């Protein structure tokens, strides 16, 4: 087991012939991910690197290759359209790496996904990896190690740092999920914590949050109610200046300033062991495993 991706993952790459798409497709194939198709409108019929068939549309790719997961590397201006297309083609797991998608576009695409039962990871995320099984996105495979710790994070390179600490000290991972740092995302901490709780091959969870919003506080409440496995937490931004305030509405809607101190306190109240720095992750986990 593991969560969201494994050996059953049959991946279609949207934007496979682009600069980022082609580079990371090679990395994913090299890692062992089953990349069954690519999509670039106008390049249907070509073979990427002589092995991966390219299609004009996601619908064609799904029909011909039974792809069940998509990863999106297209530019921000067309990324929302790519998400709509994937969902419309029956893809049930869509991973959007692209950053720079307007939040108001996300308000329209999220209900569309929900109606079709599709899960989106991201946007503006590094994707996910189940070490030794499948990697979808851009997380460097060589820093990961197969094992039994689940990792969920809003950040990219900070996730690499913490995964690196785990791997170099012998603690492997079941799945590492980068959920993305945008205000509106398809998969949040709670979705991942719930999946890790249900996964028999995950023994503990590391959650990496940051300042802004109240997702971490809600996740803490969920941990208290529904997670029996040990959870270790980190919040980045303890020294960040009080953000540029968004008028009055931001404070009114959340009733919270979203500071690191507030989030760390919420995690601690829920029984989550809170790291002061990334290097604390291994000692805290070893205490609890």
Partner 1 sequence: MNLHEYQARDILRRYGIPVPPGEVATTTDEARAIAARLGGGPVVVKAQVHAGGRGKAGGVKLAANADEAAAHAAKILGMTIKGLTVRRVLVAPAADIATESYVGIIVDRTSQRPVVMVSAAGGIDIEEVAARTPEKIHRLAVDPRYGLLAHQALGLALKLYRDIAQARTAADVMQRLYTAFYAVGASLAEINPLVATRDGAVAALDAKIVIDDNELERRPDIAALRDPSGDAPSEVAAREAGLTFIKLDGTVGCCVNGAGLAMATMDLVKYYGGAPANFLDIGGSSNPQKVVSALRIITADPSVRAILFNIFGGITRGDDVANGIVQATRAFPLKVPLVIRLTGTNEELGVQILTQAGFSALTDMDEAVKQAVARANAA
Q: Is 191 a catalytic site residue?
A: no
Unique residue bearing structure tokens 């990334």? 278
Residue 148 CB, nearest approach to partner 1 (Å): 24
Residue 205 CB, nearest approach to partner 1 (Å): 18
What is each CA distance from 205 to 43, 49, 92, 209, in whole angstroms?
A: 42, 38, 24, 13
Burial 198-226 (b: 16+ CB within 10 A, else e): ebebbbbbbbbbbbbbbbbbebbebbeee
Residue 8 CB, nearest approach to partner 1 (Å): 26
Alpha-carbon distance of 154 to 177, in angstroms, equals 9
What is each CA distance from 108 to 38, 102, 174, in whole angstroms?
A: 25, 11, 33
What is each CA distance from 18 to 88, 136, 257, in whole angstroms?
A: 22, 16, 40
The answer, yes or no, to whether the previous bond of 123 is cis (omega within 30 of 0) is yes
Unique residue bearing structure tokens 């990896």? 129
Closest to partner 1 by CB, 42 or 241: 241
Residue 278 CB, nearest approach to partner 1 (Å): 6
Alpha-carbon distance of 41 to 56, in angstroms, equals 4
Q: Are 105 and 77 in contact (CB under 8 A)?
A: no
Closest to partner 1 by CB, 62 or 113: 113
Closest to partner 1 by CB, 194 or 214: 214
Residues that bind partner 1 (CB under 8 A): 20, 76-77, 99-104, 106-108, 110-111, 126, 138-140, 143, 153-161, 164, 181, 183-184, 208, 210-211, 213-215, 218, 234, 236-241, 244-255, 260, 276-279
Residue 61 CB, nearest approach to partner 1 (Å): 25
Which of the residues are catalytic? 248
């Amino acid at each position: 087991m593991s969560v969201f991706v494994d050996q059953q993952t049959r991946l279609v790459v949207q934007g496979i012939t682009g600069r980022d798409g082609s580079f990371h497709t090679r990395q994913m194939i090299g890692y062992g991910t089953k990349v069954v198709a690519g999509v670039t409108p106008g390049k249907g019929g070509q073979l990427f690197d002589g092995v991966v068939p390219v299609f004009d549309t996601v619908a064609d790719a799904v029909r011909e290759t039974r792809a069940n997961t998509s990863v999106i590397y297209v530019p921000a201006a067309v990324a929302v359209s790519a998400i709509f297309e994937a969902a419309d083609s029956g893809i049930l797991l869509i991973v959007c790496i692209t950053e720079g998608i307007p939040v108001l576009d996300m308000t329209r695409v999220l209900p569309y996904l929900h109606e079709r039962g599709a899960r989106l990871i991201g946007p503006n995320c590094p994707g996910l990896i189940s070490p030794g099984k499948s990697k979808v996105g851009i997380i460097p495979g060589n820093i990961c190690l197969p094992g039994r710790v689940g990792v969920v994070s809003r950040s990219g390179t900070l996730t690499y740092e913490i995964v690196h600490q785990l791997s170099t000290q012998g603690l492997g991972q079941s799945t590492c999920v980068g959920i993305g740092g945008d205000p509106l995302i398809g998969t949040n901490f709670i979705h991942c914590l719930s999946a890790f709780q249900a996964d028999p091959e995950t023994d503990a969870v590391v959650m990496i949050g940051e300042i802004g919003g109240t997702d971490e506080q809600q996740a803490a409440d969920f941990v208290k109610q529904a997670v029996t496995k040990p959870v270790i937490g980190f919040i980045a931004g303890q020294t960040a200046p009080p953000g540029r305030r968004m008028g009055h509405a931001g404070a009114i809607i959340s009733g919270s300033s979203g500071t690191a101190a507030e989030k760390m306190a919420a995690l601690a109240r829920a029984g989550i062991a809170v790291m002061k720095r990334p290097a604390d992750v291994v000692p805290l986990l070893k205490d609890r495993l």
